[in-house]
Amino acid sequence: MLELSEQEIIRIQKKEALEAMGVATYPAFVTPITAKAATILNDYKEENKEKYSHVVVAGRIMGRRIMGAASFIELQDNSGRIQLYVQRDSICPDTDKSNYNILFKKLLDIGDIIEATGFVFTTQVGSIAVHVNAFRLLTKALSPLPIVKEVTTQTGTQSYDAFTDPEQRYRQRYVDLIVNPTVRKTFEKRTQLIHIIRDAFNSQGYLEVETPILQPIYGGASARPFVTHHHTLDMPLYLRISNELYLKRLIIGGYEGVYEFAKDFRNEGMSRFHNPEFTQVELYVAYRDYLWMMGYVEQLIEQIALTLQSSTTFPYGEHVMHFQRPWKRFTLFEAIQHFTDYDISCMDEPALRETATQLQVTIEDSMGKGKIIDAIFGEKCEPHLIQPTFITDYPVEMSPLAKRHRNNPALTERFEMICMGKEICNAFSELNDPIDQQKRMEEQGALAARGDAEAMVIDHDFLRALRYGMPPTVGIGIGIDRLTMLMTNASSIQDVLFFPQMRPENK
């Protein structure tokens, strides 16, 4: 149990004093709110002041200036902040002034949530404010907010006590959202980004669906799963690492375009680009291929940039990103040769191991050809791919669910979009040959036997579904978290997740 601070003890005493006065510190009834801070500030003018002759506002106290018989409050609602002008004689028209002298001046605190009724006016210094005729406490805050203090010296203005420590911000996102309004803008943009994608898919007639999160067999990607247990069925279940195989079952069932915004879970390390729980949208479209999908996703992300940034050119960290079409394209082997001077396109596993050693890329005995190639690409190529770039035509060993390339059966029709050195999208023409698919899943099983904990498992029901026939189909997964990072200039995935996974807190 957390110990109470001195300020929290004082606030609890204030709560008890309010209740002794007959004031409800957490009332159930709220007067309907008629105006928001941003609306008042943007719309109010002297010529339309009658419209604002009676308003009800509500929000959190973020600042107070007590000046004898009159005071100013800075009130924050979800749209912004506005000043409240509180005059003793306005809120206490009778001879009893305790509502102002005791309740307002002594028992209210920064962080408390109040409701205020009054009229809008322009102050002597030209600011728009609400002249309060009545107010009511809605919530007594027992923990004090971190309030930024600014001190002006000869060398400039310095800030103290800002709530900027990343670990504190991620653990106490509720405080972060209160005191750092720009954080809310990040998450509003994230929601807007999702709406843009959903609207784009819906406009094409694609169907939004839901598939199981708890799965008897995890599949659709190469990753280590989280495992749980169903007591009634007495069987293990896995948090999904991907929803791919379920969505392809729906294409087999007759839908020609399906998508899902999915929470996926991978039992892997954490970094500023990785969280064990993440969001991606997967889309599957029948009678299309990966070449069509490259053009479609290029157009979609350009549209997202134009909507969220008003331009296809905008800053990310120290770089200026350029999302205007067309984007640069490399095949995987071209990219590796370009950045390492090694042509590995015809190498077998022993040669790849030797090349990785020469390039000082760490590999493990359990790795097959696909994992070794992926390690070389990830370490020697990805960090150099800053601008949006399509990497295409991956080897079969790296893509167990992708269709073989129409011109080279050793490759697959797959692409990834890489940006700022990280994968944003992964797509391929889907493998719909059930015999080839079974063989590739069996090869993944052999890798698992060698100790590869991320090798794909055989899903016999999916193979059964494929035997009924799946039309030529293209699928893509777009990482919502990483795409949001790009569109909001966030340096860490934790900045775009309300509640990122954290190590246990030291009490």
Residue 186 identity: T
- Alpha carbon 323 to its chain centroid, in Å, reads 20
- The span from the CA of 141 to the CA of 26, in Å, is 10
Q: Three-state DSSP class for 271?
A: strand
Q: How far apart are CA 33 and CA 442, in angstroms?
A: 62
Give residue 147's region: left, alpha or beta (phi > 0; psi -120 to 50): beta
- Residue 8 φ then ψ, to 5°: -65, -40
Question: Binding-site residues, please?
Answer: 416, 423
Backbone φ/ψ region at 317: left (φ over 0), alpha (ψ -120 to 50), beta: left
CA-to-CA separations, 411 to 13, 134, 404, in angstroms, rounded: 72, 73, 6
- E-strand ranges in 326-470 read 328-331, 389-392, 414-419, 422-429
Q: Which two tokens stand for residue 37?
A: 């801070």
Annotated binding site for Mg(2+): 416, 423
Do the beta carbons of residue 414 and residue 392 sit within 8 Å?
A: yes
Task: For residue 6, give the H/E element and its range.
Answer: helix 6-20
> Tokens 């190590």 appear where?
503
Closest CA to 493 of 478, 506, 503, 483: 483
